[in-house]
Chain A
Amino acid sequence: MSFLNAALLGGMAAAGIPVVIHLLHRHRFEKVRWGAMHLLERVLRENQRRLKLQQLLLLLVRMAIPLLLALAMARPVWQAGRSLLGGGKTSTVVLLDNSYSMEAGRTGATAFGLAKEEAVRLLGALPRGSDMQVVLMGQGGGTLFERPSFDAGYTAEALRGLDAGYGTATVPAALEFASGVMGQMHEASRQVVVFTDFQRVSFTAPEAPALSRALERLRSGEQPAEVVFFDVGQDVHDNLAVEALEYSRLMVGVGQKLAFKAHVRNFGDTPRSDLPVYFRVDGEEKAAAQVTLGAHQSGQVNFNHTFSTAGSHVVEVSITGDSLAADNVWMASIPVRDRLPVLLVNGEPSAQPLRGETDFAEIGLQPFSAGRVAQADLLGTRVIPAEQLDAKRLSECAVVVLANVARLTEVQVRALEGFVSDGGGLMIWPGSRVDVAWYRKVLFNGGAGLLPQAYDAVQGDTKEGGRTVALAAQRFEHPALDFFNDPRNGSLAEGAVRLWMSFAENPAEAAPSRTIARLETGAPFLVEKAFGTGRVVAACTALDADWGNLPMRPFYVPLLQRLTVDLASGVETERNLEVGQRLVALLPAGAAEKKVRIGTPGGGSLELTAQRRGGRAMVEYGGTQRPGLYTVEAPDGGKTHFVVNAARRESDLQRLASREIERFGGENHVAVVRDGTQYQDLERQRRFGRELWQPILVAVLVLLLGELWLQQRFTRPAMAAKKPVEGRSR
């Protein structure tokens, strides 16, 4: 305890005044010759002890009033052992919410700008020798400096240069990260100052329990840290966002119409009528629509587009009309192929039409070419006998179909494995020539091979015209088959098989496979397995009409086409990313060890060296912190577009109400401040101790009232004494 005006403590001597007054009263008394002495004496006899106690209590209260008043004027400060913590030096971690909701603001001042300004001021006011670190909250945290800094000026410089990110703020993860950073700090006194806009989505369920746990860990760790939440949020309610863009993720061909569904949401309280929504392809506006949205309402806008050229295209849906621009655009990178090469490996060739194993499939995969129609087919097939399958032919195709192939050589198997592993697609259809034992031993290889599940034995009726088993009618989750969830597109249940291969159960150590379609008996019809970056689909029956009626059914063509296109899509890496997600581009093998240029949003570019990855080259880039278009330019000039969209979790700018913020602080035992002055008061209390004059003044007030009350209480006549004097009995 120390005093800011210690000289005023002399005023405590005033506590003697009531004693002096008491003594003076005792010596300057009146004399009364009194008749009703027996009444007085009875009172004295019965109440002497109580009267003395009352007198003493009143005297003490009266003495305490000037005593406490002098104490309050001396401005005592309660330090509670702060001096033991080392001269006020404090290790400080500033946790800065740099999610894009912090870009929202009014009259030009954004929450992020305010946070930076306050953080610079706060760090500048730290005692010399304090170490400090800045943690950026977006995408789970990251430090501004490699090591904690002791230089407030340098830190301020770095802070001023920061821009708000476009990621989402995950407060619990960021606090955990800050907890780890705290381990590198030096001082015993520690604090974490969290600059945040208290966006509702970040502080309510399901984040709340994890947040409480993270705060508890910070507070009660080996070296506990004080946590202060600095509320820099502003009440900005209006925000519009393109929430999502839906379209078919299957490979698109030139001339194919692609449908887009844009979801637009109004997060604000003001209804928006005739809001323009623009649709652009490769930067050129192709269509515009208007949508009317009520408060907190979402709507859907549909666009269609047919790509006329092959290659990588960028589709963009955008709106305007609010201050937070990051969520006003949704971009999509769409690879368009003019022809997708498919290699059909025919295990049972035939000179007669439609008797060969792949004859139906060849027609089904390129119907326009087969029908001599002038329309373009996306898929282009090439049929080879099994013995011609080699690495060269594999490198020229996107998908391979093995149809009733008895067996392959070891070299062929290795080449096929390399092809799939590098992202190629493989379909396996059995038949009467299949060597089941070889398939199990080599192609399944205990779960390590290409075959998702080992073939067991041929099932069904071998007689022509015998009993058949239909395919199961079911709801499909697989993207290649969900097309058949709409009955207008045909039903797989129309197909029936007479003969089929049963699949053996996979051993526990086998790589996982999944059944994507079944027979009505429940036995698998199609099973799928990922192999490297590619995928393999195995069927249980033949590709032609020998074992069933599948080629005769309307679903045969779309089934084959969608399975093939889906497998071919696996060759591509994900081109539509979220902020912070790693960009991975696969390039032709020739690009390996060469410089690859990446164009970034805003017109910048950088160069990276492509790495060899199997039979291909690959380039990876992790700096996708800005949403927008990233263009990967291969050494041969080929361009691949990647788009990065800001996560829409931050679009809802609704903040916690003041009462909820208070409750949050109370429940988690953390201080919440709204501005620098409040923080300074808090800091002053922590560093120098708490000034006590206010509670003491309150105590003086209470004592004054108490003295009045006691005085009244001790002198108030009892009800009985108020009886009228006059009156007559009887």
Chain B
Amino acid sequence: MAHISELLTPSDLQRISSLHVLARQVVEGFCSGLHRSPHKGFSVEFRQHRAYVPGDEIRHIDWRVFARSDRFYIREYEEETNLRATLLVDLSGSMNYGRGGVTKWEYAVRLAACLSYLMLQQQDSVGLATFDSRLGTVIPPRSRVRHLQLILDTLQAAKPGGETELGTVFRDLVPKLHRRGLLVVISDCFADVPELLKALAHLRHAHHEVLVFQIWDRDELDFPFRKWTEFESLESAGHKHLLDPVQLRNTYLENLARFREELTQGCRRHKVDIVPFVTDQPYADALAAYMNLRMARA
């Protein structure tokens, strides 16, 4: 049976004001579709016995207890986390784009909330850092469930604006991450590609796993404008161009393809995972991408 989160698009979910509720809806919906336990393979510690119910795996039956009591009991374990994840959310002005639907920023915030919830559910430590041209709030990773509220509050309070300067931001961030872990960058990556790649390389050099969720708006990919249009920069006030988008579309799309290709190739070179997302895609896709990575690391 499909969970409600599978049926809702990001714009429907926008109406759910509480990030916590939203994150739970999405994550629970996502997990109910999984057939294999994500916990498998992690080091565990015995917590308690519970009565066997049909459907439990037979290999988890404690045969000693059965010998003593002639009843079936299942052994349950307390998982021990070994993942420290930090979500790096882009607060630059360009993230504020979105015509009539979800802006990229809103999409990024919800995505970050869902990921945090999922990670904490899995007993992982999760932290948060926001940035634009400079590093903003930094919340170190914790695995406590209460920690989620702090992250969600910080995300809700943040407002996008300013330019993107990923190189500086990532250099400043590295000393603040004391242990190596997973860095999930949620950004449109609208920056100078060599600079960005250099910054990612810096993170990799510090032995962090890096996963980039690149957020796109559908307009940025299709460039659907037909009339003469004045494009005004979201990052630099007063910076604008009046042009005929029909005439420009070809070259824009070629340029876009080149940009994406450079970025993808660069990330591959530095062993950085980059996953493009469009703001009309379900959040579950992002969670699936994360889980895939998580499984690969396991």
Contacts and interface: CB of A to CB of B under 8 A. Distances in A.
Contacts of B256: 36, 39, 721
A30 B247 contact: no
Question: What DSSP secondary structure best describes chain B's contact surface?
Answer: mixed
A626 B297 CA distance: 117
A33 B225 CA distance: 13
Interface stretch (A40-48, A229-237, A493-501): A40-48
Q: Which of under 10, 10 to 19, 20 to 34, or 35 or more describes the interface residues of B? A: 35 or more
A412 to B, nearest CB: 116
Contacts of B123: none
Contact of A25 (B192, B228, B231, B251): B228
Contacts, number: 145
Contacts of B268: 729-730
Interface string B244-259: 1011111111111111
Interface in A33-65: 33-44, 46-47, 51, 54-55
Nearest to A29: B228
Contact of B241 (A40, A725, A729): A40
Nearest to A723: B257
Contacts of A46: 251, 255
A716 B261 CA distance: 20
A489 B166 CA distance: 127
Nearest to B95: A35
Contact of B250 (A32, A41, A44, A715): A715
Interface string A19-37: 0000001101111111111
B216 A32 contact: no
A30 B227 contact: yes
Interface in B258-282: 258-261, 264, 267-268, 271-278, 281
B239 interface: yes
Given A714-B247, A718-B250, A728-B273, A33 B232 contact: yes
Interface string A125-141: 00000000000000000
Given A30-B230, A35-B234, A43 B252 contact: yes
A46 B258 CA distance: 14
B240 to A, nearest CB: 8
Contacts of A717: 249-250, 253-254
B9 interface: no
B125 interface: no
B80 interface: no
Given A34-B97, A728-B289, A720 B254 contact: yes
Contacts of B289: 728
A522 interface: no
A54 B217 CA distance: 29
A31 B230 contact: yes
A43 B251 contact: yes
Max chain A C-beta neighbours (<10 A), residue from B190, B230, B256, B277: B256
Contacts of A29: 227-230, 242
Report which residue of A29, A55, A718, A729 has the largest number of chain B beta carbons within 10 angstroms of its beta carbon. Answer: A729
B247 A51 contact: yes
A44 B241 CA distance: 9
Given A723-B260, A725-B278, A36 B220 contact: yes
B273 A40 contact: no
Interface string A468-496: 00000000000000000000000000000
B104 interface: yes
B8 interface: no
Given A34-B97, A34-B231, A42 B255 contact: yes
A37 B256 CA distance: 11
B239 A26 contact: no
Contacts of B234: 33-35, 37
A35 B218 CA distance: 12
Contacts of A720: 253-254, 257-258, 261
A32 B253 contact: no
B156 interface: no
Nearest to B272: A730
A715 B247 contact: yes
A25 B226 CA distance: 11
- Most chain-A Cβ atoms within 10 A of its Cβ — which of B94, B247, B267? B247
B233 interface: yes
7 contacts: A32-B99, A36-B94, A39-B252, A40-B241, A40-B248, A717-B254, A718-B254
